[in-house]
Structure 1
Amino acid sequence: MIDVVDQPGPDGGAESLYPFLHAGRADLDSVLAEAQASTVDKIAEVVALRRTVCRRDARRLGDCARQLAERFAAGGRLFAFGNGGSSTDAQDLAGLFLNPGGMDAPPLPAFGLTNDIAVITALSNDVSFDVVFSRQIGAFGRPRDIAVGLSTSGNSANLLRAFDEASTRGLLTIGIAGYDGGKMAESKSIDYLFVVPSPSVHRVQEAQTTLYHALWELTVDALAAGADAAASR
């Protein structure tokens, strides 16, 4: 389900998303004004959504970040995964923790599980797409590691299987979902589940990006605090 602002028409085309582009008018100023209004509305919507998530989950994000920091300090690694646009977000998340840009933060071992296309296609073709993440977690996961899965619907079967595998192996499991959390909200294998409560896949993914950037920053801060505490002893 997609919200009214972003709801496509029966043909799934862009006309119902941006009717001002398909109205057959030659009034450029009017079209630009409507485009501006549409953009402002969408920005206001995602800003409000981000604030809602922050108010509701601030304490849990902090707790989760501290556990991430403890695991990284103990030699743990992070495995991120998702499908489609969430796959891109998972790769971005892994890149944040790896910190290839050399920003003022420690590089942390993080991997995107969709990066190896040979593994993904082999498992999909020879076994099932449902196991593309769980098989990799089973091969690489250790008790001090971390598994982070992203989904807009929360219903992806391959994520649910990956969380089950990770939980069995003692990994810290973190889910980032949209809508009402879907089946991920029912899973007993997810230690921390953060849900972006919107029926719009666009707004969900925009807010999820903010959420995992905040989680990274909080983790870096927790690591720094732990290092300072150790140095003062």
Structure 2
Amino acid sequence: MTGLESLYPFLYDEADDGAALLDDVRRSTEAKAAEIAGLRAALAERHGDGLVRCARAMAPRLRAGARLFCFGNGGSGTDAQQVAGLFAGPPRPLPAISLPHDVAALTALSNDVGFEQACARRLAALAVRGDIAVGLSTSGGSGNLLRAFEEAARLGLLTVGFAGYDGGPMARAGTVEHLFVVPSSSVHRIQEAQTTLYHVLWELTHRALDGAL
């Protein structure tokens, strides 16, 4: 057995009518759905108060004209774009920028200076005291995010981080004021739960801006 047959033997087993495979897929899907539902429910107790504190810290800065700078790598980079899109959209559009999605700047800085400095250099060029930095990572150990948080702290930005596992180096660096850790070893579950966290933070921030929090 070679090629795809060795990787996915169940697809090439003529004796299997597919029923067993479908049953396995169903059980796996149900288990994953139950896992993320339980994880998301646990986050309310784990991070509820912290999300309120973070929203209350962000609101006066945003009211005063602060900009939100978001960053992450890979799938977390896509999440950074989602966070920026949430805050830049209705009902109250706010200035929010996703650093990884300026491809020209990201690749130029990575090539000329080094990838670990790419987000930090963008913050150094664009951010001012009072702005907000939001970084997302599943491991909490991305070197370029750690450097970005160092630069954000140096500039006097409010720093907000999302991480998985035990928070990794992000939790130990001392540069992230509001850190939300998803206690899971599954990258998929971490990113799914982080989506819930930053949507709740967005909603709470708008409530704080309205004076309702």
Normalising by the residue count of structure 1, what TM-score does the alignment of the two structures yield?
A: 0.84
Which amino acid letter does the alignment assign opposite residue 82 of structure 1?
G
Q: Counterparts of 1:34 and 1:224 in 2: how far apart (Å)?
A: 48
Contact 2:68–2:131 under 8 Å retained in 1: yes
Which amino acid letter does the alignment assign opposite residue 121 of structure 1?
T
Match of 1:136 among 101, 122, 130: 122
Match of 1:211 among 181, 197, 201: 197
Partner residue, 1:107: 93
Partner residue, 2:18: 28
Q: Counterparts of 1:131 and 1:22 in 2: how far apart (Å)?
A: 45
Q: Counterparts of 1:115 and 1:190 in 2: how far apart (Å)?
A: 22
1:124-203 mapped onto 2 (5 Å cutoff)? 124-203=110-189
Q: Which runs of 4+ in 1 moved over 6 A?
A: none
Which amino acid letter does the alignment assign opposite residue 27 of structure 2?
A
Q: Counterparts of 1:47 and 1:21 in 2: how far apart (Å)?
A: 30
Contact 2:10–2:16 under 8 Å retained in 1: no
Partner residue, 2:37: 47
**How far 1:34 moved relative to its partner?**
1.6
Cα distance per residue 1:146-194 (max 9 Å; x no partner):
0000000000110001001001111000010000100001011110110
- Say whether residues 1:62 and 2:64 are aligned partners: no
**How far 1:68 moved relative to its partner?**
1.1
Q: Counterparts of 2:9 and 2:210 in 1: how far apart (Å)?
A: 50
Contact 1:179–1:199 under 8 Å retained in 2: yes
**How far 1:29 moved relative to its partner?**
2.6
Partner residue, 2:72: 82
**How far 1:90 moved relative to its partner?**
0.4
Note the aligned Cα RMSD (angstroms). Answer: 1.8
Cα distance per residue 1:104-129 (max 9 Å; x no partner):
x2011100001111111111111100
Q: Counterparts of 1:72 and 1:190 in 2: how far apart (Å)?
A: 18
The runs of 5 or more residues in structure 2 that have no matched partner are 1-6
Q: Counterparts of 2:78 and 2:10 in 1: how far apart (Å)?
A: 29
Distance 1:20 1:142, change over 3 A: farther
How many residue pairs were aligned? 207
Q: Counterparts of 2:9 and 2:76 in 1: how far apart (Å)?
A: 29
Normalising by the residue count of structure 2, what TM-score does the alignment of the two structures yield?
A: 0.92
Cα distance per residue 1:41-89 (max 9 Å; x no partner):
0011011111122111100100101111111001101000000110000
* The 10-residue stretch of structure 1 (86-95 or 30-39) with the greater mean CA deviation from structure 2: 30-39
Contact 1:20–1:31 under 8 Å retained in 2: no
The runs of 5 or more residues in structure 1 that have no matched partner are 1-14
Percent of matched pairs sharing the same residue: 53
**How far 1:21 moved relative to its partner?**
5.0
